[in-house]
Amino acid sequence: MKIDTAQVQELNKRLLSEHQHQFEFLRQQLDKQGIPSDPLLANLQALQVAIPSWALGAGGTRFGRFSTGGEPSCLEEKIDDVGIIHAITQSAGAISLHIPWDIPNDATDIQERAAAHGLVFDAVNSNTFQDQPNQPHSYKFGSLCHTDASVRAQAIEHNLEVIRIGKALGSKSITVWLADGSSFPGQLNFRTAYQNTRAALQEIYAGMPSDWKMYIEYKPYEPNFYSMVIPDWGTSLSLAQDCGPNAYTLVDLGHHLPNTNIEQIVSILMMKGRLGGFHFNDSKYGDDDLTVGNVKPYQLFLIFNELIYGMENNAAANPPLAWMIDASHNLKDPLEDLIQSLEAIRIAYAKALLIDREALSNAQQENDVTRGQEILQTAFRTDVRPLLAEARYRSGAAIAPIITYRELSVRPQLIKERGNTTVATGL
């Protein structure tokens, strides 16, 4: 299924006058504060976030899985689904593949299909957290950290294969997330596990084309519950530094212990020039992988505050970040959920762009704590939704994405085309 942009424009017509009224009101308010709207709109139009190929079907928990109906059953259909999101929002111009869940049969075909939707391929992700049929060695006791060199060699080769697949598609980066660790004290030697992992990552790094980046993701627990080999940003950073200049830390918002100050992590990683990218999601308790910004929108705003500060004060030459969503859930229509996530990311970004940075810096210098808080919260409490709608409208996308998605009857049509029982690969 492909969305006809003329249909989107047609639906926009009904919403246009109310939208223009709301946008004009916001524009005047911002003008009074000395904030011109056009640069904000240009920034929003430029922000593209990659959609993960594994989030297009209903997610499951270990207790069960409830299908949405019309789920994509192959990579081609996953690309079509991202194309639908992009046509409605013009802000999801990339797709991130997980291998071996999404191995293309013909890379050129797949690239052409993606290009027809205006999509490019973002980071490719390796998977050494599950055993695959006919795989000689098991990852039950780890992959890159394993005590047995032949298991490590198999996991290294898988990552090199992922790089080859990514190259054929035009990707420029690989994300490595390891489930490696231990569930019981005494199960492994921390140092040996770290050293094995470091040597393996160095081998994978050496196999990357010179214009590629490696993103090393961390996670404090799950599936291992006593120790993870890469539990935190410090471990990830040290491994990235030991690999080389093109290795970076990747921050997944769900991969922190409760109440961790993620914005501070972002700030320090950017200062070191080693923040590679983001997996956006939201959580209440752990790695819940819920819709971005639905539980902690203020935290998301504070993260964007540091991201923008980092981009504007970039002595360490931190490269442009890879923005990716990594969410999944078993209740909502995945496409609606992803549209909501995109909206939340853009709201946080737009609000953070409104922060009066000079005034904030002065307040910090003068230790005026109250003023610092007022400056942040003034930006956070501004309703920027008309700005987002205007950016979308100017890009030829929907003024109101969820309304448009529903009025176009996307899900019923997908169910008609694909049936009710298809299952998308993923977790």
Residues that bind Mn ion (CB under 5 A): 252, 279, 326
Does 53 sit near ligand PSV (CB under 6 A)? no
Q: Which of 96, 125, 227, 404 binds ligand PSV (CB under 6 A)?
A: 125
Q: Which is nearer to ligand PSV, 386 or 426 (CB)?
A: 426
Q: Which of 81, 252, 282, 343 binds ligand PSV (CB under 6 A)?
A: 252
- With CB under 5 to 8 Å by kind, the binding choice for 203 among ligand PSV, Mn ion, none is none
- With CB under 5 to 8 Å by kind, the binding choice for 125 among Mn ion, ligand PSV, none is ligand PSV
Q: Which of 279, 329, 351, 418 binds ligand PSV (CB under 6 A)?
A: 279
Work out whether the CA dihedral 354, 346, 326, 259 comes out positive or negative: positive
Q: Which is nearer to ligand PSV, 288 or 368 (CB)?
A: 288
C-alpha closest to that of 84 among 387, 342, 278:
342
Q: Which is nearer to ligand PSV, 158 or 279 (CB)?
A: 279
* DSSP designation for 291: P
Does 323 sit near ligand PSV (CB under 6 A)? no
Work out whether the CA dihedral 146, 148, 149, 150 comes out positive or negative: negative
Q: Which is nearer to Mn ion, 279 or 392 (CB)?
A: 279
Q: Which of 81, 102, 326, 333 binds ligand PSV (CB under 6 A)?
A: 326
Shortest reach from residue 281's CB to Mn ion, in Å:
8
Write the single-letter amino acid at 183.
S
C-alpha closest to that of 197 among 212, 177, 173:
177
**By Cβ distance, which residue is nearest to ligand PSV?**
177
Paired with 251 in beta bridges are: 278
Does 282 sit near ligand PSV (CB under 6 A)? no
Return the residue matching tokens 């259909």: 77
- With CB under 5 to 8 Å by kind, the binding choice for 180 among ligand PSV, Mn ion, none is none
Rounded CA gap, 331 and 53, in Å? 18
Contact call for residues 320 and 307 (beta carbons, < 8 A):
no
Rounded CA gap, 223 and 328, in Å? 17
Rounded CA gap, 81 and 83, in Å? 5
Q: 378: exposed, middle or buried (C-beta count within 10 Å: 0-12, 13-18, 19+)?
A: middle
Determine how many CB atoms are found less than 10 A away from the CB of residue 409. Answer: 11
Contact call for residues 353 and 308 (beta carbons, < 8 A):
yes
Shortest reach from residue 192's CB to ligand PSV, in Å:
23
Q: Which residues contact 316 (CB under 8 A, 6 or more apart)?
A: 270, 271, 272, 273, 274
Shortest reach from residue 177's CB to Mn ion, in Å:
6
Shortest reach from residue 67's CB to ligand PSV, in Å:
18
| Residues between 191 and 230 with contacts to ligand PSV, criterion CB under 6 A | 217, 219
Shortest reach from residue 363's CB to ligand PSV, in Å:
36
Q: Which of 203, 263, 287, 356 binds ligand PSV (CB under 6 A)?
A: 287
Contact call for residues 193 and 229 (beta carbons, < 8 A):
yes
**Positions that interact with ligand PSV (CB under 6 A):** 54, 125, 177, 217, 219, 252, 279, 287, 326, 427
